[in-house]
């Protein structure tokens, strides 16, 4: 892995600003990064080859153009005051990347400067699990995908809770309702399998991994130094 493929945190926040990422999406991305980095560090301690920095930056940028997939730009669930500049940028993003999904759109934006990170971001598409070529295969890709599936808004929740909520919210992205049910029945078990694959390597259960757990773990390790 070449280090120059990965932006600094500062560069990530410049990109976030450039794309007018809504504040609730930014909070979500920070929470996903916190969880994924925690898992990446623990896996690394167990001897797995994981690039923690790549995981961190890919999580920060995974939803930079999430607005592509909003059914319509309904600002009632936005917590910020939407400016004319925000709206213009979001409309432009939606027009430019129409119909390709926010994961592929983010990949196309990031791939020239950060090809490895762009591919890691691309693979967090929920349905990617069903496609041998598109599914997450590296630890970095798996952790971005999995952490995103554990963070509801900006809180870590059990996989089941998050999946139930996402299915309700994203039904419009998965075709007809019947098709959506089939997809869900096929994809969700693969995500539970991924969870198992990660936690098999850790002395930890998925349910024990909460925001409070990560916070107290970092406080403890900070005190130990």
CB 59 within 8 A of CB 37: yes
Q: Which residue has the tokens 């990560």?
A: 214
The structure tokens 């990949």 sit at: 107
| CA 2/CA 34 separation, integer angstroms | 23
Would you give the end-to-end CA distance of the chain in angstroms? 29
Residue in 152, 147, 180 with CA at minimum distance from that of residue 166: 152
Residues 51-70 that bind Fe ion (CB under 5 A): 63
Least distance between Fe ion and beta carbon 46 (Å): 27
Residue nearest Fe ion, CB atom distance: 63
Minimum CB–partner distance for residue 100 and Fe ion (Å): 13
Choose between 53 and 63: whose C-beta lies nearer to Fe ion: 63
Nearer residue to Fe ion within complex by CB, 39 or 147: 147
How many CB atoms are located within 10 Å of the residue 192 CB? 14
Give the nearest distance from C-beta 53 to Fe ion in angstroms.
Answer: 20
Shortest separation between residue 124's beta carbon and Fe ion, angstroms = 5
Which CB atom, from 121 or from 209, has the smaller least distance to Fe ion?
Answer: 121
Work out whether 141 is an interface residue with Fe ion (CB under 5 A): no
Name the site residues for Fe ion (rule: CB under 5 A). 63
């Amino acid at each position: 892995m070449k280090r120059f493929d990965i932006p600094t945190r500062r560069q990530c926040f410049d990109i976030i600003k450039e794309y007018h990422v809504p504040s609730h999406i930014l909070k979500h991305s920070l929470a996903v990064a916190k969880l994924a980095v925690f898992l990446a560090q623990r896996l690394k301690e167990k001897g797995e080859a994981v690039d923690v920095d790549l995981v961190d930056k890919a999580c920060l940028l995974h939803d930079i153009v999430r607005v592509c997939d909003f059914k319509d730009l309904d600002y009632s669930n936005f917590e910020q005051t939407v400016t004319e500049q925000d709206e213009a940028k979001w409309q432009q993003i939606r027009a430019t990347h129409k119909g390709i999904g926010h994961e592929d759109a983010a990949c196309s934006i990031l791939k020239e400067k950060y090809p490895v990170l762009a591919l890691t971001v691309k693979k967090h598409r929920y349905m990617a699990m069903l496609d041998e070529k598109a599914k997450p295969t590296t630890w970095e890709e798996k952790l971005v995908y999995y952490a995103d599936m554990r963070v509801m808004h900006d809180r870590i929740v059990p996989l089941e809770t998050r999946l139930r909520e996402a299915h309700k919210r994203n039904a419009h992205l998965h075709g007809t309702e019947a098709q959506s049910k089939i997809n869900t029945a096929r994809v969700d078990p693969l995500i539970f399998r991924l969870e198992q694959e990660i936690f098999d390597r850790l002395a930890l259960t998925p349910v024990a991994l909460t925001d409070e757990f990560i916070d107290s773990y970092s406080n403890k390790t900070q005190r130990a130094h």
